[in-house]
Structure 1
Amino acid sequence: MLTSTLRSAASRVSATTARRFSSSSGGGGGGGVALPVSLLALAGTGYIFYEMEGLKAKTDDLQVQISGKSNSAFVFIKPHACKGKAGAVEQVLEDKLKEAGIRITDKGEILAESIDKNMYIDTHYGAIASKAVKLKPSELNVPDKGKKEFKEVFGEDWDTAVNSGKVYNAKDGASKLGLDAEGLNKEWSKLTRGKDLIKFGGGFYCGKVKNIYVVNGFYMSMRAAYCNPGEKIRWYTVNWNTDSLSWEDFRSKVLGATDPSSAPKGSIRRTILDDYKALGLESKPNTGDNGVHASASPFEALAERVNWLGKKIEDDGFGKGLLAKGIPKATIKKWSEDAQVTVEGETKDGKTTSVFDTLEDLDADTSLVKVSKISK
């Protein structure tokens, strides 16, 4: 298409040039003024650039429309549900997706060793995991209010405790104490808020375990469920037409609530709960071990495909739509870490919100409209 446009533009410029040349070189009697070849070339270049800009705008608009017609999610069977009868939970999931008119476009599995080595689950859990395994205490941004509470509860200054080597993230804390993930979680569960445990912010806790301070000590047990030898997930990429099923209904009716006992009968999570013995699962599903994970929005689905499957933003259907809307790749990457943003018409002056929260449950087409209102 681009080549034909350039040829068409060049043809029109050549025709104009020929007429000008003809009218000024005698025989035409038109008295026209011949333009220098360099000016003609410059005019032609400008015209072609104008044509290309117009074509790009039309192409981007078409890409946004295409990307908005399909909802694409990332779904995986959690490790605990991979331990039942061979293929049983997979059959439930695949049958329920088919009943809802949802297409499975690809599937596979990822073993614990790869999940651990590539920190897939840590990226998946975002800020909670980052504070527990990626960032050192000196790299944490603790608000003044949190530092004040730390001193009130523990009797010493936060910065002093960090500089003296008394504060550890969960991973290093477990190593320092000689505990495995379950051992640290057992000690963490003994802590009491306001006594030996404080909350700095959402998903950001610090507790005193024995003689050291540990940040987000609960996380290592969550991580172990995915990273212990023998564990794995079974993943699916799925899509469906936006006008046939809303994302909100996909999560609430097809997948079911986070607490499977509250999920509607016939939903994926409720079916796994109701039939867990027949499916060969060792324990009854609960809010944490609820059988299946699914993306909370088209944007989170993109972030999850990039994380778990190594997809490139520019090769992803929804990613192409975001780029066509003028959202820079660097911004998409920043948002994928659940950045705090302002949203036109939603957030008050001086206030921010989670980008995941503001896009949650929106369909692809609605999401591609709303992203223009989010701060870059």
Structure 2
Amino acid sequence: MKEMPITVRRAIEITGLFFLGWIIVLGRGLLAPLLMAFFISIMLLPVYRFFRNRKFPEAVAIGVSLLALIVALGLIIWFFSSQISILIRDFPAIQKNVMQHLNSLSSWIGSHTPFSSQEQINFISEQSNNMLTYAGGLLGGVAGGVTGTVIFIGLLPIYIFLLLFYKNLLLRFVFLWFPRESHEKVEETLGEMQVIIKSYLFGLLIQITYMTILLGGILMLIGIKHALLIGIIFAFLNLIPYVGALLGNIIGVLLTLASSSELWPIVAVLGTIAAVQFVDNNILMPRIVGSKVKINALATIVGVIVGGEIAGIAGMFLSLPVIAMLKVVFDRSEQFKQWGVLFGDERPTLSPMGVPVLRWDTKAVRQKLEQENEIEPPFEGKKGDRPEKEQG
């Protein structure tokens, strides 16, 4: 049989990606909670196995694991709501500080621009009316968003239970897609994906904890009001690559500005966030998550934006583990290795235009690039090193 031309194969791949993206956009209401449930179920596997090893019935083990998850989420929501209630109690002081800052800003604008105080008031009044009109038009969308969120949260425990209950059936389904001679490579790929997802997600949980304690604790020692609230908001927003850290800084500054009549706390908050983030990015997180899969910044930013467009905040959070999963699959597939290179961070120091060896897909070249970029080699699937197999 005549081999298909490379241009035709690439055209089919791009066409397939287009239709896959179209299907994802159309089915995002179903896929977003299903994908979130998939990642959470992988995190719950150690808890599930703990109870299964103690002879708990399968349904009971899954139910207890879900109960532990619900309790943990309930504690997080309780802590966050308690901090919000403190913020609400301070609303009169916040209103006073905001007015003081606005008056100072108005005086500065009046002294450096031709706009008088009355013109500034008229401008603010006009913009406020426009914002109220815009907000009124968004009320229907907000109601729909609340409904969607309730459905999302309601579907999560159902999906998690079913994914854990039917995990062996789903694994059999995956293996039946491939010929028997490829099953060992499929097993290695699934094992590597499980290890990477668990290390990444558990690392994020640890990161949320120490970021809240470290950032909130330092800000409390400095004397910043609502320090713990700033810490927990920044810790959760920091889960969204690049974009989340920027939003966390902005919210931290706004909370500090509203809670203080002075400007030095803003400098203290920004400096503390920068120091904590430096320690997190360069010391703590690399040791917690590891470096088996590195995604380059371009793929990360594009993935976050695309994920946000498809599924909002949940899509932005899920973008990085999804890209990591795809890179593992692409790296082990002969047909799609070039996509693994596109997502990865194995950046050559020299140009493939001048060094032809960098154009080749060889193991030696890949290992050299991984060493240059300090990336651990992928899991090779040796018998003694394979992840623990499924129990029950």
- The normalised TM-score by structure 1 is 0.22
Which of these two proteins has the greater Rg computed from alpha carbons? 1
Structure having the larger proportion of residues in helix: 2
- The normalised TM-score by structure 2 is 0.21
Structure having the larger proportion of residues in strand: 1
**Larger relative CO (CA 8 A, sep 6+): 1 or 2?**
1
